[in-house]
Structure 1
Amino acid sequence: MLNSSTQGLHSHSWLQAAIELDNSAENYVLITVLSTAGSAPRGSGTKMVVSEQNIYATIGGGHLEFKAIKYARDLIAKGETCQLVENFQLGASLGQCCGGQVMVLFEVFISDQVTLDIYGAGHVAQALVPILAQLPMKVRWIDSRSRLFPKNIPANVKKVIDEDPVEQVKQAANNTASLILTHNHQLDFALCKAILKQNKSLWLGVIGSDTKAKKFQYRLSQRGFSDKQIEKMVCPVGLSEVSGKLPMEVAISIAGQLVGLYQSLENKASAPKGKQWQELQSNLVQLRTEQGKVG
């Protein structure tokens, strides 16, 4: 799949794409041709951008580009900001008639905004989402009942209608926070099982009581989940010091807990380290030496 939002290639330049993806807090990779040896489809300095769902611009097409896109998306899936250099042999390994070599820089930009999947569009979610609209978070709001969603959805919220919300667990990105607020205890439990089994969630909150938490813990243990896995489930969700049962009271309590979550992650956000750049420089020297020998 090249693009999920348009047929063929995007009209955006790589720079327009990078600005747009930064503004929308989407993860992406900036791919740059650093150098070439022999015959190659594009010259040094050529750039393209790859996100989880789309590509922008081109480094020359063919097997080289498809391999670069796959490599970029594998890097995005790892969820770490980094810089890597790869040397592609166009003739030997990629089956392209050019027969040269291309050294490519992959710069991975992972948004430090927390991504949150909310399952359920009931009263608590209706009260919570407008609060989250004012916070640095990306939200997928998931329910099977389209009639429950308000007409106006905040810009940082994506509405997802699925007859089987559990299927959406498979679509969650790595290190996504998950919040279960559905109307159905069985659905809550099915979502818990799927999220814990997939083991990609940054955090898992479940609305409910202490009694519900104990029942879920027991049922999960009976299904082979370890204590370590079960401990990842936060139930009841929300700040214990914020009491009340009104939807807005519960929503404020959950919002406070989510603020604490993303603030605790801010200092851990990935950034280029001196050692990383030294390793990158070393790789560049090595790869250029190899290209020089071929040339």
Structure 2
Amino acid sequence: MGFDLDGLRAAVAAHGQVTRVVIAAIRGSSPREVGAAMLVWQQGQSGTIGGGTLEYEASHAARSQIQDRVLGSHALGPDLGQCCGGVVTLLSEVYDATRLAALDHELIVRPVRAAADGAMPLAVKRLLASARSQGLRPTPQLVDGWMIEPVHHPEVPLWIWGAGHVGRALVDVLSPMPDFSITWVDTGPERFPSDIPQGVTPVPAADPALLVTHAPVNAQHLVLTYSHTLDLGLCHSLLSHDFAFAGLIGSATKWARFRSRLAALGHSPAQISRISCPIGDPALGKHPQMIAVGVAAQLLRRDMTEDLRKDHRA
């Protein structure tokens, strides 16, 4: 996770002045990781730094904050009566449209203490130079009184084909997850709900299969339209294109028929086996939200496995 600049922009546009509270450092155990953040305004908040009492106290302080920037440490056990036992350092910063305009960067680096308002420390310069020379994004961290956070960009393109009950449940469950960039496709604008979550791009298309070639080859796909004919056309197009993952909603009977029809369209058994069907966890049931929870778990397990493989290869 990094600095969610788009989310902050949206909150400032909707609520005016907003205080961003981020975990800047941790000693011992903590309910969330460094870089976890929440946005607080007078009548509400979004995001979470976890911890129950920690978040409650931080939200209350953020609403009455006068200074532009406050850095403070909280001993979770002695100060807040929590069981984690660690010490969490929070950075709270007040943003409005004027201050937000200065943050349009890929990397946000700023001093967080009055004593650190001078030149950038050598340790910070070295870390930034090393990250840039290697083409790596530094992790969120507090270094010699300076906070370093990369601007967050969703890195997993996810295409959801179908805006029916299951499609809507999937968008509700998956859109808050920070790493998914969701493209949502159906046959017409009337198929979509009026309130589409931030970060989800709805695309009405009379023939959805024609859009497959516009999807990046590293995209993940969930096929669940209202029509088996549309589903089959999408599977055919996906196998003729490329993808990181493709899942099809359906029963074992539907998948047996699709395998036969895809083979007749010229796809080999090895190619066809790249499509997962059914998706999710059938043991959870067929309610749209139950399907969505199972699919979300499937995608997250897959991404975690891929990350472990990359770490092993590195």
TM-score bucket of the superposed structures, by smaller chain:
0.5 to 0.7
Higher normalized contact order (CA 8 Å, seq sep 6+, divided by chain length): 1
Change over 3 Å in CA distance of 1:270–1:171 after alignment to 2: farther
Listed as ranges, the gaps of 5+ residues in structure 2 are 1-100, 109-133, 137-151
Residues of 1 paired with 2:308 and 2:222: CA distance? 23
User: What are the superposed Cα offsets for residues 15-50 of structure 1, whole Å, 9 maximum, x if unpaired?
Assistant: 935359xxxxxxxxxxxxxxxxxxxxxxxxxxxxxx
Residues of 2 paired with 1:167 and 1:17: CA distance? 35
User: What are the superposed Cα offsets for residues 160-205 of structure 1, whole Å, 9 maximum, x if unpaired?
Assistant: 111111111011012100110100001100000000111x210110
Contact 1:113-1:138 within 8 A present in 2 as well: yes
Give the root-mean-square deviation of aligned CA atoms: 3.0
Amino acid at match of 2:235: C
- What does 1:105-144 correspond to in 2, within 5 Å? 113-135=155-177, 136-144=179-187
Q: Secondary structure at the match of 2:201?
A: strand
Q: 1:238 is matched with which residue: 280, 285, 289?
A: 280
Residues of 2 paired with 1:172 and 1:154: CA distance? 20
Q: Does 1:147 align with 2:190?
A: yes
- Quote the residue 2:106 is aligned against: 18
Contact 1:114-1:262 within 8 A present in 2 as well: no
Change over 3 Å in CA distance of 1:251–1:16 after alignment to 2: same
Amino acid at match of 1:201: F
- Paired residues, number: 173
Residues of 1 paired with 2:221 and 2:170: CA distance? 14
Change over 3 Å in CA distance of 1:156–1:270 after alignment to 2: farther
Listed as ranges, the gaps of 5+ residues in structure 1 are 1-12, 21-80, 84-109, 274-295
Residues of 2 paired with 1:192 and 1:246: CA distance? 24
- What does 1:209-288 correspond to in 2, within 5 Å? 209-240=251-282, 242-268=283-309
Q: Does 1:177 align with 2:220?
A: yes
Q: Secondary structure at the match of 1:205?
A: strand
Contact 1:112-1:266 within 8 A present in 2 as well: no
TM-score, structure 2 normalization: 0.50
Amino acid at match of 1:16: D
Residues of 1 paired with 2:201 and 2:284: CA distance? 29
Deviation of residue 145 (structure 1)?
2.2
Residues of 1 paired with 2:209 and 2:202: CA distance? 15
TM-score, structure 1 normalization: 0.53
User: What are the superposed Cα offsets for residues 104-144 of structure 1, whole Å, 9 maximum, x if unpaired?
Assistant: xxxxxx96732110000000011111110221211100111
> How many percent of aligned residue pairs carry the same amino acid?
34
Change over 3 Å in CA distance of 1:203–1:139 after alignment to 2: same
- Quote the residue 2:240 is aligned against: 197
